[in-house]
Amino acid sequence: MKFPWLYDLVSAFRGLSRRDLLCRRMKVRNSGRYLKLSKHIKGKGNLLEIGSGSMIHGLKIHVVGNNNRLILGSNCSVGPHCSFWIEGNNCTIRIGAGTTFTHTVHLCAQEEGMSILVGEDCMFANRITVRTSDSHPIYDLKSGLRINPPRSVEIGRHVWIAPGAKIFKGASVGANSIIGSDAVVTGVIPENSLAVGAPCRVVKQEVSWSREGLY
């Protein structure tokens, strides 16, 4: 084919292909049911993998760098105005099976070797940000050394993240926990915890939650 990148782009938009699609910048493995996405890719050796039964209703994928991985598990749902960004080399965004994003969720794995790992059956509401970096360096004036290195983020299985939450570099959220609206998470939240506030703090432990609607 004269323009292989064009076939890759059209197939990703329509969700038509069930085989590997290989282009110069990104390899796409699509087993999703419905795909509506846009891609900006700069680099080589990158992989986008969309699991069986997943549905994407409007996702912007931005990858700048080499040998990065963006893996969406089976039966996930991504609502409109979401964006998954990778800037750096050897970075990973991995979303577990059955995880859902309502709308306007931004994940950014930035700087060398960073990762955002999300477990199965998580529920992201809207206007949520998850980042591994501050995007710009901060230096100590006396030593000249950088004082804000990046750190990976990990979110366990069956975590509910409420609207407006921000989960920053180095954060770790344990399985079955709930992160309240507009919370700012920078540290470790234990399993089965309800955590709220900015900075986020645990207000109750030994809790769980379900997806059933209260209406």
Q: 62, 106, 136, 158: which one is catalytic?
A: 136
**Residue 179, both tokens:** 């992160």
**Residue 23, both tokens:** 């282009």
Active-site residue 136, yes or no? Answer: yes
- Per-residue confidence (pLDDT) for residue 20, from 0 to 100: 40
**Residue 201, both tokens:** 């703090």
Q: Give the model confidence (pLDDT) of 72-87 as tens digits.
A: 999 999 999 999 999 9
Average pLDDT estimate for 103-115 = 98
DSSP 8-state secondary structure symbol assigned to residue 76 = -
Q: Give the model confidence (pLDDT) of 13-66 as tens digits.
A: 444 343 444 445 789 999 998 889 999 999 999 999 999 999 999 999 999 999
CA atoms of 63 and 9, how far apart (whole Å) = 14
- Per-residue three-class SS string for 35-71: EEEEEEEECCCEEEEECCCCEEEEEEEEEECCCCEEE
Q: Give the model confidence (pLDDT) of 145-162 as tens digits.
A: 999 999 999 999 999 999
Q: Are 154 and 117 in contact (CB under 8 A)?
A: yes
